[in-house]
Amino acid sequence: MKDGLETLNTQAESTVTGYRIMVRHFVGRLGSVKLVELKVRDVDFALGKLAKRLSTRSVRLARMILIQAIRNAMVNDLVVRNAADLAAVVLGPPFESRGKTNGGQN
């Protein structure tokens, strides 16, 4: 997955940095499973672990990065199916508002 980040066509270095951080989170949850051996249950397990600590948006981003990495591998004939595409989207912890209440009035 890390190699795929080098091919991103983005002008914002901060975006690539954010993706690298997310890849570290995700790879740590997947362990040493190779893309060719990756199963949907592996992705579901890793996303479930991430969802305990990260927002739904971050979990979806992690899944999107993995989907793109596997698509890249498919183009290069390294894998034949995309386990991340078939995995369920897992929700992160509920959002707790830290803003004002009562429509912004005190």
pLDDT in tens, 36-69: 888 999 999 999 988 888 888 888 888 988 898 8
Residue 50 vs residues 11, 19, 38, 45, 95: alpha-carbon distances, Å: 27, 14, 17, 9, 15
Residue 20 CB contacts under 8 Å (≥ 6 apart), including other chains: 2, 5
Residue 23 CB contacts under 8 Å (≥ 6 apart), including other chains: 1, 2, 5, 65
C-alpha–C-alpha distance, residues 36 and 52, integer Å: 27
Per-residue pLDDT for 106 more than 50?
no
* Helix, strand, coil percent content, the chain, rounded in steps of 5: 60, 0, 40
Q: For the segment 7-44, what is each residue's pLDDT rounded down to a tens digit?
A: 555 567 888 888 888 888 778 788 788 888 889 999 99
Q: Scan for tokens 């948006």, then name that residue.
A: 57
pLDDT, the chain, mean: 78
The pLDDT, as a whole number, for residue 40 is 92
Question: For the domain with range 2-93, which CATH number is right: 1.10.1060.10, 1.10.150.130, 2.40.340.10, 3.40.50.920?
Answer: 1.10.150.130
Per-residue pLDDT for 3 more than 80?
no
Per-residue pLDDT for 100 more than 60?
no
The pLDDT, as a whole number, for residue 97 is 47
Per-residue pLDDT for 5 more than 60?
no
Q: Would you give the DSSP letter of residue 72?
A: H
82 is written with which tokens?
A: 């995309």
